[in-house]
Amino acid sequence: MSTFYVTTPIYYVNDVPHLGHAYTTIVADTLARYHRMRGDHTRFLTGTDEHGQKVEEAANKRGLTPQQLVDQVAPRFDETWKTLGIDRYRFIRTTSDKHKKVVAHLWKRIREHNPEDLYLASYQGWYCVGCEAFYTESQLIKEGDQWCCAIHKKPVNWLDKERSWFFKLSKYAEPLLAYIDKNPDFIRPEQYRNEIVSFLKGGLKDLSVSRTSFQWGIPVPEPDPEGLSHVIYVWMDALTNYLSDLCPADGSIGGKDVAEYWPHALHIIGKDILRFHTVYWPAFLMAAGLPLPKGIFAHGWWTVRGEKISKSMPATRIDPIKLADALSVGPLGRPIGIDAMRYFLLREVPLGLDGDFTFESLFGRFNAELANDLGNLVNRSLTLIGKSPVRPAYDGFIAESGAHAALAAVAKSAIAEATLEYDRLAPSRALEAIWKLVREANKYVGDTQPWALAKDDSKSDELAHVYHMLASVIAIVGGLVTPVLPTTGRALRQWVGVADDALDRWPTPEDLMTIVGEVAKDPKPLYPRLDDKAQKKIFDTMVPPDTTAPAPAPAAAEATNQITYEDFAKLDLRVGRVASAQPIKGKDKLLQLTVDLGEAAPRTIVAGIAQAFPADSLVGKSVIVVANLAPRKMAGLMSQGMILAAGDEQILGLSAVDRDVPPGTRVK
Ligand code: ME8
């Protein structure tokens, strides 16, 4: 058992939570959940950054005192995380008494350890209130005759010889470079470490760490001989939160929690605030004679249709609760909507890279990976097991053979890979590894054909083993997805009868032999497919139609025999795997096929292809099936779909897919 301490940035209270904030918090929550499942001592901190000029200005604009504003907005962050089911986090506010005391102590510690590191001088230069940061002209952009912040695209303020305390940051470029060299994982991913290394190599300027032109902050705990009252620079104040939450109530820096957790601190941040965390913060700590956190991991930016999510860009603002609610289409409601949102955010973009949020890819992943791959595996397996008189049972002899051994091997490597990838802070790769197992298990159903085993009494041991494998793989998948999909993971494990005390435990390869219990008879489809109507409804909820946009051109279909996309989308085309094929007596053109569409049982399809294909040659082939064609009777059989083939009277070829695609995958 080890210790894990994860933090998010503390968010500014001049804004309300949006998808960008939710992303960082969900990433941290995923990691914290993973470590708890591993049995690690885990602590998770988030909170709000409540001081500074930006908050003071926002309060003035609204006719509130800064304290009133922060008291209104800070709880909205806390409530948002509660509503989104963020698990066992601590919430720190920089206006809390303890935090203020710790910040003052940090200042005094720097004074004690390196008295010359804090000195009074006058500051002149540009300041971006949005970033709460000082900039040189080379870091700004010029718009007309105004210098603007490259991030906020707004004019920066000129601070004219403001008397200020300075921190001797220049002294720390070399020690920081040496530290990063010795601790290559201190800044991750690598591209950000390289960025900071070259920044440090260019040398550092001393940093102004107090302000006198406004008062909304923590007072500098020593007098200015000129009698001016200074408040501590908001970043020095804010960064200290990571430590102050661990400190005892008297605000001294030390004690049990600092000793236990601080050496393990992992700061998850957006790339926008990399320099504050990887240069200023460690330099303050070095100056105070304190150990540095274990590491800083910066993730990329989410944009919406190419635009950065921001307060000033209403079209890009996505309310995470609204999105989770819009995705709450399953019987379990909001928790599943939350899981779907978490899945998309963590699967779509490898942690560290930028990502663009589009509804097309959200719906695509929802349908293909959640509804289809995972949903089908669970629904078909539990339906088969639920209906059968045969109970799942592990058989060590059968386990060694063919498809059974192959599935067990993939399950074991999925556990190993997912563990490694979560440890490497690569949840998207962990999910990829888990989905390999999901797809393999779907293939296993096709390969072992439990419906055929059920017809043969001599195969009941094998059938019991197949059921056992399916149930235990569902339990393992349930465990492996839990950090990202907490509600789904728990439901899966409960449905296959995992004992309560094992629900929150990280899977092990031994689970393949032991984990199943009583299997639920009526699983609910967790992720019903989002058809066009459902997709449109979600889209319209999240992006209210723009009434100022020109009306769409009349459909071209009126003039020609073209069809619209909506017409096409009515077709439910699926990949099917032919499970069996046989001639039909007296019908020399027809074949009777059973085709696996990833559903609980394969479909019977009658196809007029007998003259082009001997029945045997079709078994195992993947074909494209019109899955929503109304069933019709052919040659006395009910045909439940149609297979696409080239040619009219004379069949020339069958539609096929060019690689191994799981049965049931939608074709578009
Ligand atoms: O910077 N994509 O607070 P903040 C990804 N108070 N992540 C995003 C994002 C987006 N479009 N938008 C915001 C502050 N974030 C300071 C932090 S810490 C000592 C002080 C996330 O409210 C991301 O984590 O501006 C980013 O770093 C953070 O919100 C900025 O939040």
More confident position, 204 or 662? 204
**Residue of 35, 99, 100, 131 with catalytic role:** 131
> Which of 481, 513, 545 lies at the terminal end of a domain, its last residue?
513
Same domain? For 279 and 423 the reply is no
> Which of 299, 318, 347 lies at the terminal end of a domain, its last residue?
299
Distances (CA, A) of 401 to 398, 404, 464, 474, 510: 6, 6, 15, 20, 18
Same domain? For 175 and 280 the reply is yes
pLDDT one-digit tens code per residue, 553-595: 444 333 446 777 767 877 889 888 888 899 898 888 898 998 8
Closest ligand 1 atom to residue 241 Cα is 19
In a domain, 307, yes or no: no
Residue 4's closest CA among 39, 48, 46? 39
Q: Which two tokens stand for residue 449?
A: 């054909």
> Quick one: pLDDT at residue 313?
61
pLDDT at 44 over 70: yes
- C-alpha 70: how far from its chain's center? 28
C-alpha span between 81 and 321 (Å, rounded): 9
Q: Which amino acid is at 418?
A: A
For residue 495, give its domain range. 358-513
Q: How confident is the model at residue 547 (pLDDT cuts 50, 70, 90)?
A: very low
Residue 422's closest CA among 465, 367, 481? 481
Mean of pLDDT values over 316-336? 91
In a domain, 254, yes or no: yes
C-alpha span between 635 and 630 (Å, rounded): 16
Pairing of strands 187-188, 295-299: parallel
Distances (CA, A) of 456 to 449, 451, 623: 12, 9, 28
Q: How many percent of the chain have pLDDT more than 70?
A: 95
The preferred substitution site among 80, 149, 245, 273 for testing ligand 1, maximizing ligand atoms within 8 Å of CB, is 273
In a domain, 470, yes or no: yes
pLDDT at 1 over 80: no
524 classed as catalytic: no
List the 302-304 sheet strands across, edge first.
307-308, 302-304, 355-357
Q: Which two tokens stand for residue 520?
A: 């639920």
The preferred substitution site among 8, 24, 25 for testing ligand 1, maximizing ligand atoms within 8 Å of CB, is 24
Residue of the CA atom closest to atom 12 of ligand 1: 20
Specify the CATH number for the domain of residue 591: 2.40.50.140
**Residue of 41, 98, 152, 271 with catalytic role:** 152
> Quick one: pLDDT at residue 174?
98
Same domain? For 476 and 382 the reply is yes
> Which of 299, 316, 350 lies at the terminal end of a domain, its last residue?
299
Closest ligand 1 atom to residue 242 Cα is 19
Ligand 1 centroid–CA 312 distance in Å is 14
C-alpha span between 211 and 233 (Å, rounded): 6
pTM of the model: 0.82
Same domain? For 293 and 221 the reply is yes
Ligand 1 pocket, Cβ-based, cut-off 6 angstroms: 9-12, 15, 20-21, 23-24, 49, 238-239, 269-270, 272-273, 301-302, 308-309
In a domain, 338, yes or no: no
Same domain? For 444 and 576 the reply is no
The preferred substitution site among 8, 10, 12, 21 for testing ligand 1, maximizing ligand atoms within 8 Å of CB, is 21
60's enclosing H/E stretch is: helix 53-61
Same domain? For 195 and 288 the reply is yes
**Residue of 35, 51, 149, 247 with catalytic role:** 149
Residue of the CA atom closest to atom 7 of ligand 1: 20
Residue 141's closest CA among 123, 128, 160? 128
Beta-bridged to residue 284, according to DSSP, are none
Same domain? For 122 and 35 the reply is yes
Mean of pLDDT values over 287-307? 93
Contact 627, 635 (CB under 8 A): no
308 classed as catalytic: yes
pLDDT one-digit tens code per residue, 75-96: 999 999 999 999 999 999 999 9
Same domain? For 91 and 231 the reply is yes
Number of domains in the chain: 3
582's enclosing H/E stretch is: strand 573-584
Q: Which two tokens stand for residue 316?
A: 């890009």
Q: Provide the greatest CA pair distance for the chain.
A: 108
Listing DSSP states for 261-297 in one string gives HGGGEEEEEEGGGHHIIIIIHHHHHHHTT-PPPSEEE
pLDDT at 310 over 70: no
21 classed as catalytic: yes
Peptide bond into 189 cis (omega under 30): yes
Same domain? For 501 and 598 the reply is no
Distances (CA, A) of 129 to 132, 152, 161, 602: 5, 9, 17, 63
> Quick one: pLDDT at residue 559?
40
